[in-house]
Structure 1
């Protein structure tokens, strides 16, 4: 389990001016409410307990108490997307951790309005991030801003849903660089790169409309759910966000997904929600969730559960059967006999004595309140009456071919990118990404990844790979390939230019650029029904096309018909 410990290191400093004087002297004014530093905001918000732990481990807590900074702050839910071993590795490598965290920090105060006017920005770590506004979302690299303009005494916090990762070479060289001098901002307003050619943002898109989280000087808010977050002080549950008047006071930024992530009873459910790509749904819409506990999943036949989990459509169908539109109270449930699930089929509600039942499952305890709904723990996994669980294909011992992979197609994603999702190759190494790249069409790519010693780097966290096929490598002049083979640094540079941090699917592809692990930007462009990826110059994109998506665990692969060369390659 991930260690999530909040550190509270400062007490609020209240100004207490004393006015001396005799009769007729003006009465003393009450001291103004003290604002909080960035470090205090992070330390006092349970949603940032993992970030607080990481800042303390990296020795950056004191840094964010003074100076003037803008922080793109990942929530606990964002950190939960990282494999536990990756997070543990970073926490045990101070220089790597500092490099990652400083990539989330911008010197100076940058408001939401200023962010929207950027195409890129420079971080305190030394690398630059991309800003894209599309489809009603504002993205920093591959992370979505979920809350903007949380004002601190010494800066601004913008909340994001994904941990940002600097270029691979920047992290590897972190140990050779000293911590940047951050006591003073570099500039009052960061110098931004020239805007890249990108679709105009919709007029209705306004980062300012994302609810801000005002700083509270003294209002304490608590939740009625026990989480795995360990705090060093009861004040760690003091939130800095808006509240809603519903029984227990609830922090506005604590979404359904955040609450599920925070409660270790739901760790299995959390992972399945992520696999089904339902995290955003549970962060943006009002729902009531009947949440099976880990014990409930343990009572399911393992083979049946494996079949459900291995098929994205079936998994989504099962999970949505546990979701009902609207925020329903216990009284609402007791008064109802049937509810329509988000999956489409009905749920039966009955009272067995004092126990509330949903189908044959019993609700365990009171509602867990979130900002956008209620969660009820249940002791059984609910299965839709019309659910059809596909059988696992028989293993005849034959080598997997491209045709075989096509036959295991599980879903067609109907988006403007018209990408087709296919199942990854059967497990061979225990790592889904390596197994997927073990398909015959990627044999050249996999051999080069191994030669460049990049297997560990690409499997340490979720990634998106634009994977050149063997036919793509066949287009590269022999002299160019030979030069790469004898130059390990250049080979690594080219390969990392094909990799993006995080799982980028569907709307995530509807942007003009993605930041590669090599550090340069990959330009994206529509070409009829296909997407093109490469380097854009003078409206001409040099690169390749892709239309198929291969899921590899939480990572994703897009086979591409050309090898991409980074613009920085010499």
Structure 2
């Protein structure tokens, strides 16, 4: 008996569908999207065309989807076209201008993979169209999905496509009369996610030759952990090496060393906090004559002078910005030419680190900002300060 080409093609399609419907070993990586599966199935040729026209190719190409698709076959779309023709409409009229076709297609998606055996008579299932656009299940004779205006029977059930399931149906399901089908609104593109910060302020200081002495003081003052926090969003005024040389000369004239600012009261840590502004501030955002808060506390501010470049002024000295606006993730660094002092050395508040059980005590003339105090190292001990004092003599 001669076999016609159409019969042979039908046999091949049937075998392909049977193969897809058969249980397969779990795949570690999905290699076939729902769009791929629809494209490879002759019986769903018109469904593919409508997916393309409605602009949902990318949606159904997502291989991570875990949904159920009720896929109308070619006959289902031919019947829809006949209905549209009787209304003097074409399939294209469901696309422009309001893309109701996309809403109709979303009505054919169930948010989770559901096999035919799991469907119960009379149950309602949600759809990807949302907003109360549900389907009612009827299993009195096969499996049928019922809408407020029509219904569709499952022709081929339980076709696995990676983590999704496809049921081929014989009718295009309509959530309402054509005029009442909601317009499709293209989802807004997701906001770009900021790149993960890979460089802390401490990393940036460590990598900058001009900050060798700043790094040494950060280590000696016990603030390495604080400036290693990659979530910080602050401004750091970073004194260069020459700035610390100048400070050493001042201390030497007072018969002091930099180590004397560490032991016993760690005024060096307070001085370092005076070089931090609680928010990232670019030089272009600074206005002449304004005051800015510091991480040392509410009473310890800096005055901005922009009459010749950018300068930060304290009650006892000032520093000019040599290099501005160095971005370190969400923070900003300005390299300055002097170590800023919030007061005479004897008036600088002692630094007491925060502990896990108590907030950091207030400095002698102000209140440290709690958010910063909680970030400060709580592991400093008398023994550490003693070793740090010895370490800091290398600067003198």
In which range does the TM-score fall when normalised by the shorter chain?
Answer: 0.3 to 0.5
Larger Rg: 2
Higher strand share: 1
